[in-house]
């Protein structure tokens, strides 16, 4: 039954208008929110830059002086196994270490090694010894090959020292040549190389580390040549 009540008629008209304009109001509100967020975007801090990631890499630099004479030892018929290098406390990490005072170490925030230096050293040591042609074969541990000798190494330090100017990279490695059959240590030595950085930053340290590594590998090859021929 129809009613002529003016109040009811006005309510129906208002409801109809709300039904018509509700979607438009929702769209307008969404547009205002998006506009607000777009305006705030420039105020948000930019994302941090990605880390710089570096490799330990080295060609072979010929040893000099007495090391050259040692490397000239006759080729051994032995198979040499290169063990995975260990690392001393503070250096078993892919963070790049720097120092500016005694007994303390710090690390770069946005610069790191691709892997721990000790892990990167293993194939570099094996490649250097293989290229030298001292042994019948050079294998990395673990290996199914029957090796006569094993080279064990320990990374003592790899750090960029800012207590001097220009800064210097110090790379130190301890090596032991072991007779696998008797488990006796044939010889041991510690190698320490220092190289000035060409720039006072992480990249300068990386370049210096790789130069120092070339010299250290040459000395390590000469050490193995001398003592394997005497075993």
Query: Which tens digit of pLDDT belongs to each residue from 150-169?
Result: 999 999 999 999 999 999 99
This prediction's pTM: 0.74
Token pair listed for 193: 């190389």
Query: Which tens digit of pLDDT belongs to each residue from 28-56?
Result: 566 665 665 556 556 677 888 899 999 99
146 confidence band (pLDDT: 50, 70, 90): confident
Per-residue pLDDT at 25: 58
Q: What is the mean pLDDT of residues 202-212?
A: 98
What whole-number distance in Å separates Cα of residue 151 and Cα of residue 144? 16
Burial class (CB in 10 A: 0-12, 13-18, 19+), 80: buried
The CATH T-level fold of domain 53-229 is Rossmann fold (3.40.50)
Angle between helical axes of 117-132 and 202-229 (0-180°, round to 10): 50
Strand partners, 79: 137
Res. 71: pLDDT tops 50: no
Query: Which tens digit of pLDDT belongs to each residue from 107-139?
Result: 999 999 999 999 999 999 999 999 999 999 999
Backbone angles phi, psi at 163, to 5 degrees: -80, -10
Res. 21: pLDDT tops 50: no
Q: What is the mean pLDDT of residues 171-194?
A: 96
What whole-number distance in Å separates Cα of residue 82 and Cα of residue 147? 10
Backbone angles phi, psi at 186, to 5 degrees: -75, -45
Per-residue pLDDT at 228: 85
What whole-number distance in Å separates Cα of residue 194 and Cα of residue 204? 13
């Amino acid at each position: 039954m129809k009613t002529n009540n003016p109040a009811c008629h006005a309510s129906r008209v208002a409801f109809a208008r709300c039904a018509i304009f509700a979607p438009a109001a929702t769209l307008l509100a969404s547009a205002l929110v998006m506009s607000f967020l777009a305006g705030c975007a420039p105020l948000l801090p930019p994302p941090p830059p990605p880390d710089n990631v570096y490799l330990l890499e080295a060609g072979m630099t010929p040893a000099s002086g007495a090391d050259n004479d040692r490397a000239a030892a006759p080729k051994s018929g032995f198979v040499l196994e290169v063990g995975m290098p260990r690392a001393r406390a503070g250096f078993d990490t892919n963070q790049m270490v720097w120092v500016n005072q005694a007994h303390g170490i710090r690390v770069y925030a946005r610069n790191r090694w691709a892997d721990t230096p000790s892990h990167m050293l293993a194939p570099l040591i094996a490649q250097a010894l293989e290229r030298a042609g001292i042994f019948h074969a050079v294998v990395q541990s673990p290996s199914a090959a029957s090796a006569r000798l094993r080279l064990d190494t320990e990374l003592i330090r790899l750090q960029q020292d800012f207590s001097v100017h220009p800064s210097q990279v110090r790379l130190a490695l301890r090596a032991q040549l072991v007779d696998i059959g008797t488990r006796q240590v044939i010889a041991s030595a510690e190698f320490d190389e220092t190289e000035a950085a060409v720039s006072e930053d992480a990249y300068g340290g990386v370049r210096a580390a790789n130069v120092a590594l070339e010299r250290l590998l040459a000395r390590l090859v000469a050490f193995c040549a001398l003592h394997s021929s005497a075993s």
